Amino acid sequence: MPVEFPRNERAERVIARLEAQGYDACAVGGCVRDALLGRRPHDWDIGTSARPEETLRCFADCMVLETGIRHGTVTVVLEGEPIEVTTYRTETGYADGRHPDRVAFVRRLEDDLARRDFTINAMAWHPARGLTDRFGGREDLAAGRIRCVGDPARRFREDALRILRGLRFAAVCGFTVEPQTARAMREEQGGLRSVAAERVNAELSRLLTGSDAARVLREFADLLAGVLPEIAPMRGFAQNNPHHCWDVWEHTLHALQVSAPDSAVRWTLLFHDSGKPPTYREDEKGIGHFPGHPAVSERLADQAMRRLKFDTGTRERIDRLVKLHDIPAENDPRFVRRWLNRLGEGDFRRLLEVKRADTLAQAPAYRPPRLAMLDGLEATLESVLQQQDCFRLKDLAVNGRDLLAAGLPEGPAVGRTLRFLLDGVIDGRLPNKKEALLAALRESGPGRRGAE
C-alpha cells in the first residue's frame, strides 16, 4: 500500500549522494514515526550501510561534525542545518543495563531496525522504495500502541531507560502500552536504578508535558513511584474535606490534566500536595486539614529534584512555585505588582496557572468564585503590564545617583532607601515621580532611612 509521506529535500539529497557511491541509505526512526503521524519531524535521521569513514568521504566537500563518530554518527551540515547520518549497527552486551558492550556496524537495514526500542520507532522510509516496516510499526501507530521490538523483558533488561521512553511516547502521543510490554515494564523496573538521573529526569519531564500525562501517571503510578517515591503516599489518600472530591493523587492528576503543558508548571503540580499526607490532621468534626503542607511539599519536591539532578535554577523555581501554590491571591494591582516584583512575569504567570489548575481540580461547588477571581486577577495583570506600572527597581523614577545627589551618604543605605521607595510605589502610597519620591525622602528625615 502506498504511504503518504512528506518530502524532505535535504534528507533526499543525503540519501541520493550515499546511493550514488553504492551505499544503501534511508530515513529511520523517530522522523518516520512523526511523519506518519502527520507531525513535522524535528530532525531527520538518515541510516546508511556506509561506514562512518565512508560517509565522511561521501561528504568531503560539506561541513561535517564528527562528535558521534564512535557510535557511527556523522553530522552533515547542509545549508546551515545539521542532519545526522548513522551507520546501520547492532548493539550487544548491555552488561550494565545502559550501555551496549559492543556496537557492531552492519550492512543491512533490517539488522539495524531490530535493535530499536519500539515498533513505531523501528521503521524506515526511502523516497523510491517507500516504507520498510518489519515489526508492524504502522499498524501499532494506527492503533495507538506502544510495543517493543522483540521480547520486551529482554529489551528492558538491555536498557531500562526504554521503560520511561515507552511511557513518554504513551503520554505524548496519547497511546496505550500493549499488555505484554506493560507487564515487562513492571517486571524490569528495578533496572531503572542504574540509569543516570539526568536521563530519567529528561524522560519524566517529557512525559509530564505530554497531553496524556495524567492517564499514564494514573496507570503506571506503581512503576513511577520507583523513581519518584514522593508520589506514593498521595495515592488513595482521602482528604475528608468539603473542598475536595478526590483523594490527593486523583486531585493532583486532575490538576495536571487541565494545566498548560509547561514543564515547570507540571512538575509543580505533581508535587504541590505531596506534603498533605504527612501533615494530615482531623478536627473534632472529622474534617481533614493539612496545616503547613506547602512547606512540606516544597521539601519533598526539592529532595526529588536533587536526586534527579535538576539544574539549580529549575529546581529553585519549582521549589518556589510549590511553596507559593496556596498563597491567598487577590485581584488587586498592588498584589499583582508585589508578586511581579518577587517572581518576574514568567513565574508569576506560572503561579497563576498552577492556582487555576489546582482550583479546577477541587470540588465543583467551590470553583466558580475562585475562577472568577483568577480571571479578574489575570485581567489586572494584563493592565499592569500594559500601563507599564513600576514594579522593579529599574522602573523606579529615581536611582542611586539621584539619592546621593540628594545628600544620602554612600553605602548600604542607598539600596535600602531605593527598596523603601519602590515598596511605596508598588503599594500605591507613592507616585512614581522623581520629585515626589525625593520629597517623600526629605519628609522621612534627612538620612533617616540610612540610619536604620
For binding to ligand ATP (CB under 6 A), which residues are involved?
29-30, 45, 116-117, 121-122, 159, 161-162
Q: Give me the sign of the Cα torsion angle 240, 246, 250, 255.
A: negative
* Pick from 26, 21, 5, 3: nearest CA to 112: 26
Q: How far is the CB of 245 from ligand ATP (least distance, A)?
A: 36
Contacted entry of ligand ATP, Mg ion, none for residue 319, CB cut-off 5 to 8 Å set by kind: none
Q: Give the interface segment with Mg ion, choosing from 25-33, 88-96, 124-132, 365-373 (CB under 5 A).
A: 25-33
91 vs 247 by CB, closer to ligand ATP: 91
Closer residue to ligand ATP (CB): 122 or 390: 122
- Give the residue with the Cβ less far from ligand ATP, 116 or 126: 116
Q: With contact defined as beta carbons under 8 Å apart, do 285 and 307 qualify?
A: no
| 116, interface contact from ligand ATP, Mg ion, none, CB < 5-8 Å by kind | ligand ATP
Could you tell me if 321 and 361 are in contact, meaning their C-beta atoms sit under 8 angstroms apart?
no
Site stretch for Mg ion (CB under 5 A), options 24-32, 299-307, 322-330, 376-384: 24-32
Name the minimum Å distance from CB 174 to ligand ATP. 15
Among Mg ion, ligand ATP, none, partner that 273 touches (CB below 5 to 8 angstroms by kind): none
Which residue number, 89 or 293, has a Cβ lying nearer to ligand ATP?
89
Which of Mg ion, ligand ATP, none has residue 178 at its interface (CB below 5 to 8 Å by kind)? none
DSSP string, 372-411: HHHHHHHHHHHHHHHTT---SGGGSS--HHHHHHTTPPSS
Parallel, antiparallel, or unpaired for β 73-78 and 81-87?
antiparallel
Strands 89-92 and 102-105: what pairing? antiparallel
Q: Say which entry of Mg ion, ligand ATP, none residue 224 contacts (CB below 5 to 8 A, set by partner kind).
A: none
Q: E strands within 208-354?
A: 281-282, 288-289
Residue 40 or 392 having the CB closest to ligand ATP: 40
Give the one residue of 30, 97, 152, 277 binding Mg ion; rule: CB under 5 A: 30
Which of the choices ligand ATP, Mg ion, none does residue 117 contact, using the CB cut-off of 5 to 8 A by kind?
ligand ATP
Angstrom distance (rounded) from CA 68 to CA 53: 12
**Number of residues in contact with Mg ion, rule: CB under 5 A?**
1
CA–CA separation, 278 and 287 (whole Å)? 16
Stretch that binds Mg ion, among 28-36, 69-77, 132-140, 177-185 (CB under 5 A): 28-36
Confirm if 18 and 58 have CB atoms less than 8 A apart.
Answer: yes
Reading the block at residue 363, the C-alpha cell is 470540588
Element housing 81 (H / E) = strand 81-87
Residue with CB nearest ligand ATP? 30
Residues that bind Mg ion (CB under 5 A): 30
